[in-house]
Structure 1
């Protein structure tokens, strides 16, 4: 499983300009099963994506993100193995 942390590199008005295309991309990737969760960081300095896809699929997906292709954000990818989860989230366990 992967946590992707996005940090904005440009002023807020540029982020806002690219946000609709980014959100359309996020929806497409949810529909394709790449992402399990997403949201804004607090404070709003970027975002976070949770992915259960393999690394090659995730990398290909991120390369299509308008925030990536337009240099809006830096991406940090953290891989982890979920070994414990709350009840109801057993689908997140690495088997």
Structure 2
């Protein structure tokens, strides 16, 4: 699994201009069961995406290159890969 932490590097006014396109990008990978959860940080200086381990790190990097936030230089991405050793039973089907 991956925890993707995005930090905005541009003002929120610029982020808002691409938010619809960013959400459309997210929807594509939710439909493919790659992304599991996402949302803004609090305070709103970026966002977090939880991604399944169904793809390699190299493939995840390719996917994230499609994000309009990345394409327009709006956010920096920090990625943590981990292998869950424990989880709630409700997550069994997606891990």
| RMSD between superposed Cα atoms in Å | 1.2
Tell me the residue number matched to 1:29: 29
Tell me the residue number matched to 1:43: 43
Unpaired segments ≥5 residues, structure 1: none
* Partner deviation per Cα, 1:12-46 (whole Å, 9 max, x = no partner): 10000011110110101111222111111111111
* TM-score calculated relative to the size of structure 1: 0.90
CA drift of 1:87 comes to 2.8
Distance 1:60 1:33 in 2: 16
Query: Number of residues paired by the alignment?
Result: 93
1:39-78 residue pairs with structure 2 within 5 A? 39-52=39-52, 53-78=55-80
Tell me the residue number matched to 2:8: 8
CA drift of 1:89 comes to 1.7
* TM-score calculated relative to the size of structure 2: 0.90
Unpaired segments ≥5 residues, structure 2: none
- Where has structure 1 moved over 3 Å in runs of 4 or more? none
